[in-house]
Structure 1
Amino acid sequence: MTLPTLLDIEASGFGRGSYPIEIGLARADGSDCAFLVQPLDDWTHWDPKAELLHGISRARLHREGLPVQQVARWLNDELGSIGIAYSDSWGYDNTWLSLLFHHAGVLPAFRLEALRILLDERQLALWHATREALIQELGIHRHRAGEDARLLQLTYLRTRQLADDS
């Protein structure tokens, strides 16, 4: 079975003025990766509650983050040939992705779709419990983009297997 490519974004907070700070991918081969995004000067919104969740400081973003143009090019390189990636938080992730590409002055070479369109009713019914079981089994640290993308992919795979077995 070919695994879908999953994308996850951690952000400076939610709502108006928020922006992407980390973008992670879980590739079809099961590998995952993530990159921190260096905030632009006018990206000033910062929610301390969001920082408590993801554990990424603004100082770290300025030190280790990649420029928006570099992140946009990397995403196009990774996803251009596939043409599609999936997200469990499409409304937020698509907004942050659009913001990143807009400020990079680059057009995306792929589209982002809601993960929900890949799931049948049996998978949806199993989703939450399966995800929680995987977090415990694998000791996954939530709210980091690469690990969250991989968790989504593993949850997709296991719910599909469980649904097929029932």
Structure 2
Amino acid sequence: MSAEQHPQDPSAVVATEVAPRAKPSNYPEPYASRVSGREKRALGEVFALRNFGVNLTRLQPGAISALRHTHSRQDEFIYVLEGHPVLVTDQGETPLAPGMCAGFRAGNGNAHHLVNRGDEVVVYLEVGDRTRGDSVNYPDDDLAAVIGPDGGWQFAHKDGRPY
């Protein structure tokens, strides 16, 4: 189910019945395969939200949420629904549990991601705004991203060469 499949915007949906994103990752290889085991259901797209996005995300055991990253202009927020991910930031590791949340203010430089080191699936909501001009720094990888004129991510090496 997606916004394109609905001639009218829906008022409510069952989140787990929203189809997963068709393209599991926007990262170029070799990075896209590092987030295998991650499934996102773009809930905000169903409602044609313009100012922020909401994803219902599942991480299989051993999966990561994203490459460790920090946004220049986009605030991010996560809320854990199921499982016990580990939040990895510049300050270290923080075990999370259902009912816990974390927020990442734009421009603070604190790179972060979630890792599922457990045997159970992790399910969480992630919310991010859609501020134009955002860029992403990946301190552990030779990757940088900027929002292109079309609103999509454009990836390059840190020296500026495109992928």
The alignment's TM-score, normalised by the length of structure 1, stands at 0.23
More strand by percentage: 2
* RCO comparison, higher one (Cα < 8 Å, 6+): 1
